[in-house]
């Protein structure tokens, strides 16, 4: 009798790169809004990008790399 194999259904996987909104940036860094914008103005934090008429977002990979650099003492 032949063996029939079935494959599990493909699930949607979230891309590694995504847009972080301010709350996600605050959660990732532990910083508040004012301090994030202060660091951005000094060029010490990834810049927010305009993503809509009244919305900005951050590249998740840039934010995560920034956090990693701080934790590993590379900043």
What is the per-residue pLDDT across 12-48, written as a single tens digit (0 to 9) for each? 666 689 999 999 999 999 999 999 999 999 999 999 9
Q: What is the pTM of this model?
A: 0.77
| Alpha-carbon gap, residue 63 to 51, rounded angstroms | 16
Question: Is 26 within 8 Å of 32 (Cβ atoms)?
Answer: yes
User: Between these two residues, 50 and 9, which has the higher pLDDT value?
Assistant: 50
| Alpha-carbon gap, residue 63 to 24, rounded angstroms | 10
Give the pLDDT of residue 14. Answer: 62
Which helix H or strand E contains 57, and what residues bound it?
strand 55-59
Give the pLDDT of residue 74. Answer: 82
Q: What is the three-class DSSP state of 3?
A: coil
Token representation of residue 64: 């995560």
């Amino acid at each position: 009798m032949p063996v029939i194999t079935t494959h599990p259904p493909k699930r949607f996987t979230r891309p590694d790169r995504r847009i972080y909104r301010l709350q996600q940036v605050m959660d990732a860094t532990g910083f508040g809004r004012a301090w994030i914008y202060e660091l951005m103005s000094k060029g010490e934090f990834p810049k927010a990008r305009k993503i809509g008429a009244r919305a900005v977002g951050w590249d998740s990979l840039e934010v995560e790399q920034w956090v990693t650099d701080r934790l590993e003492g590379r900043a």
